[in-house]
Amino acid sequence: MNKNTWIIVVVVVGILAAGGGFAGGVLYQKGQSTTPSGTTGFAGLTPQQRQQFRQGLGGRFARGGAVVGTVASSDSTSLTVKSTNGSTTTVYINGNTKYLLETSGQASDVTTGKSVTISGMPNSDGSITATTVRVQQ
């Protein structure tokens, strides 16, 4: 074989090896799915699985300045939010707190039994001073 033939053989073998490696990687990734539906991420979860995921986060958000749960009680300066794991978090509200619905909301939109997602600044006693309160419809 001459020099040009060897170059062509080496290039073809290299391309085949690269293609085989790529195909093997694709097959490996398909086997690494993180959700039961075979896709990765939140979009691959059923509505029930999404709800369970959100419920599981309820108590954990409180330590970082957010809480997800149901309003257990409220007054003009605070809300008590009960997460699905049973823990409660006191959330302080003030004139700077924003209330969000499908459109802008107000403090009177937050009533006992409403599901809420609250974000704000954590306080040293475990309570939160709210910057936003999102009320689920």
Run of H or E including 26: helix 3-30
pTM of the model: 0.41
Cβ 122 vs Cβ 89: under 8 Å: no
Instruction: Quote the percentage of the chain above a pLDDT of 90.
Output: 9
Can you tell me the distance from the alpha carbon of 121 to that of 137, in angstroms, rounded to the nearest whole number?
24
Same domain? For 57 and 116 the reply is: yes
Question: Count of domains in the chain?
Answer: 2
More confident residue, 78 or 21: 78
| 21 lies in the same domain as 66 | no
105 inside domain: yes
Please indicate, yes or no, whether residues 81 and 16 belong to a single structural domain of this protein: no
For residue 37, tell me if it sits in a domain.
Answer: no
Full domain range(s) for residue 97: 45-135
- Specify if 39 maps to a domain: no
Q: pLDDT (tens digit, 9 = 90+) per residue, 63-96?
A: 457 788 889 999 999 999 888 788 888 999 999 8
CATH number for 63? 2.40.50.320
